[in-house]
Amino acid sequence: MTQNVANPFFGNPNAGSFATRATLPRNQLLRPFPQFDTVNMAETNHGKSQYHAGVIQVRKRMTWWSGSFSYTFSRLWDNQFGQGNYYTSAPGLLNNYTFSAGTEYFNPDAEYSRSLLDSPHKVAITPIVQLPFGAGRRFLNGGGWTNAVFGGWTVSAVIQMQSGFPIGVSQNTNTNSFMLGAGQRPNLVEGQDFLVGGSITDRLRDNPLDDRYLNANAFTQALAGTFGNSPRTLPGAYSPWRNSTDVGINKDVRFGGGRRATLRLEIINLFDNPWYAAMQSVSFGNANFGRVTSQGNYSRTLQITGRLSF
């Protein structure tokens, strides 16, 4: 495939860089359009996606408390090329950007599967509670110091839980580069789990060096002249869940005549749950394959504010 052979375009002024080369590699002459180095398709209509979702939502109007609960179950499938997201790098799609419509190997519909943007579960809970103490409330409403201490408290929260994204794996060494393709994937090892066992968060807290999320034993390198059988996205494998709880605690003190003081404590990421950014590498054979090394959200953050209205 890489053997140099006579160049049929030699001396042709319309052949661009090929015009001055006496020989060309054999693989160039076997391409669908051998007179061109690379042919790209722009604004193609071969891409497609399909999204389905079901939503359950409950809302409570304000009495001494209010809030909302929502759960979304969704499914997103597509055949998009070179796509990634903040948490998962784009996998090595076979011959991405250089497919030819109507041929079996270059058929983009063969890549139709779960999108890398698919996140099937999402829960959002937003309660607001006015504690039933102090003036105008059910308990300790006699005024005086009890109202000053126990009255005027409001607690609110924003709780989010969302499943991770699918993961695609490529191969660090393209054993088929002589075929002028864009990438290579590894083979799957039967009986091996794609993910390392146990919670990645618990493992990192116990040992910061225990940062492997993908199980390298689940893959082997595809040999030259073959295509790896790893699919575009690994079945049943998702990046870690992203959970967070934000809390606001508000204390109002009224002085009469429209004057009021407010003290507010805000806690972002109350339980200090990490949202992991993309793994350092999803290319099998890379020394950093499957390692979780960076965080994509804030650690626990506190803020205290005071306000005087008059």
Q: Which of 128-132, 189-193, 223-227 has the lowest mean pLDDT?
A: 223-227
Evaluate whether 268 touches 259 at the Cβ level (below 8 Å). no
Q: Which of 50-54, 94-98, 159-163, 189-193 has the lowest mean pLDDT?
A: 94-98
pLDDT at 96: 43
CA distance 143 to 194: 63
- Record the pTM: 0.81
The percentage of the chain sitting over the pLDDT mark of 90, rounded to a whole number, equals 53
Is 227 a residue whose pLDDT tops 90? no
State mean pLDDT over 293-301. 90
pLDDT at 95: 45
Is 230 a residue whose pLDDT tops 50? yes
The alpha carbon torsion through 94, 100, 104, 105 (nearest 10 deg) reads -20
11: confidence class by pLDDT, cuts 50, 70, 90: very high
CA distance 226 to 128: 59
Structure tokens given for 48? 């497609």
CA distance 66 to 178: 64
Task: Find how far residue 183's CA is from the centre of its chain.
Answer: 21
Segment 84-121, tens digit of pLDDT: 666 666 655 544 444 555 665 566 777 788 888 899 99
Q: Which residues contact 291 (CB under 8 A, 6 or more apart)?
A: 211, 212, 213, 279, 280, 281
Is 212 a residue whose pLDDT tops 50? yes
CA-based radius of gyration for the chain = 29
pLDDT at 219: 97
Evaluate whether 27 touches 4 at the Cβ level (below 8 Å). no
CA distance 290 to 215: 7
State mean pLDDT over 251-268. 88
Is 184 a residue whose pLDDT tops 80? yes
State mean pLDDT over 182-193. 89
pLDDT at 221: 95
257: confidence class by pLDDT, cuts 50, 70, 90: confident
Segment 33-76, tens digit of pLDDT: 899 887 777 777 777 899 999 999 999 998 889 999 999 999 99
